[in-house]
Amino acid sequence: MRRRSLITGAVGVLAAAGASPAAAEGPRRRVLHVRPGDAVQAAVDAVDGPGRTIVVHPGTYRETVNIPSDVRDLTLLGASRDPRDTVVVYDNANGTQKPDGTGTYGTAGSATFTSAAPGLTVRGLTIANDWLRADHPEITGTQAVAAYVTGDRSRFERVRFLAHQDTLFADTTALDSFDRQYYRDCYVEGDVDFVFGRGRAVFDGCHLHTLDRDVTFKPEGMVFAPATARANPYGFLAVRCRVTSGAEDGAYKIARPWVPSYETTAWPSLVVRDTWLGPGIDAVAPYTDMREAYPWQTMRFREYANSGPGAVIPVPDNRPQLTAAEAAEHTHGTYLGDWRPYEQRY
C-alpha cells in the first residue's frame, strides 16, 4: 500500500508554510489554536512561556515541526477524539538533499516532528513521514523518520506514528542523559527498525504494526532497534502491547541491537512483557544482529509472559525470559521513577 493512501482519513486543506495560528494573537495567550491554513510551527514559535497548550484542529498540515528545548511543558492536542482527523506530515528522507545545497538531511534531520522539549505532552493526532522508496530509487539513505523525540518527560497518548524505515526515533538529548518517554495507546507502523534510539521509553498498551515490503528476502524488518547507553539501567519497555503484521507469517523480528558508530559502548536494552505477538513475528528466531561484532545474545533483550503465535518458544535459547522476580523490576515505576504519567487518564 502506498503511504499517501494511509493518511487520507484526515480532513481539511494543506497548511501554508509560515501562516500564523489564528488564535495566537494577544499577549501571553495560554491556549493557541491552529486551523487549516495555519501552520503548527507558527504556533510553536508563538509560545511565550511554560505550560502552554496548542490545539490543532482537524486537517492535514504538510510541514515539519520543531519544538526546541526552551519550550517547556508544552501540550499539543488534536482537537477531535480521533487522531486520524489531524495529520502532520512531510516527506524528507536521510538521503534527501537540503534546498540550500549543504548536503542531505541525515536520519534525525529527516523527521517530520522533532522535539527536544522537556515535559512535552502530545495527544490525539497523527505524525507521518510519507516518503516512499519506490518514488526515489536514486536515494540510498532510505531512513525517513516520522518523529524524533528527545527531552525528559516526553509523553504521547493516542498518537499515530506512520512511516516505513525508522518511524519513531526515541532518543536522548545527550549521550550521558537518561531522558524518559512514555507512549500510551499509540499506534506505530513501519518496516525496518521502526522504533529505535537510546531513550528510556515505556510503550504502554500500544499497537505496533509491521508493513509488507516488496522484497524477496527475510526478515523484511525489525520492530525495535534500541541503542541504550551502557550506563543506563533501562532502555525500551513494551508492556500490554500488541504486534500485528501486514506481511506473511514469520517475516519480522522483534528486535536487533543498534550500536551506533558514535557510541560503540552502547548496550541495547529491550523488555517485551505481557504483550500479544502476532504470527508476523518469527517465533523460532525473533532476534537478529545488526552487525556481527555486536551479537544480540550479548545484549539486554528479555521477554516475560507474552502470548500469541509469535510468542511460542520452540527454541528457548533464542528467547531469553525474565523470571518473576526479575520481571518485578521492569515496570512503569522503575523505568520512569518519580514521573508517573501512567497514573493519569484523559
Distance CA 242, CA 69 (A): 32
Answer whether 169's CB lies under 8 Å from 148's CB. yes
Sequence letter at residue 94: N
Answer whether 226's CB lies under 8 Å from 255's CB. yes
Residues belonging to the active site: 166, 193
Answer whether 289's CB lies under 8 Å from 295's CB. yes
Residues ≥6 apart with Cβ < 8 Å to 298: none
Residues ≥6 apart with Cβ < 8 Å to 283: 250, 277, 309, 310, 311, 312, 313, 314
Record the cell numbers describing residue 114, joined without a space. 522533532
Record the cell numbers describing residue 196, joined without a space. 529505535
Distance CA 252, CA 208 (A): 12
| Partner residues linked to 84 by β-bridges | none
Backbone angles phi, psi at 200, to 5 degrees: -95, 100
Distance CA 305, CA 319 (A): 12
Distance CA 253, CA 69 (A): 34
SS3 assignment, position 1 = coil
Distance CA 191, CA 197 (A): 15
Distance CA 5, CA 214 (A): 17
H or E stretch covering 302 = strand 300-304
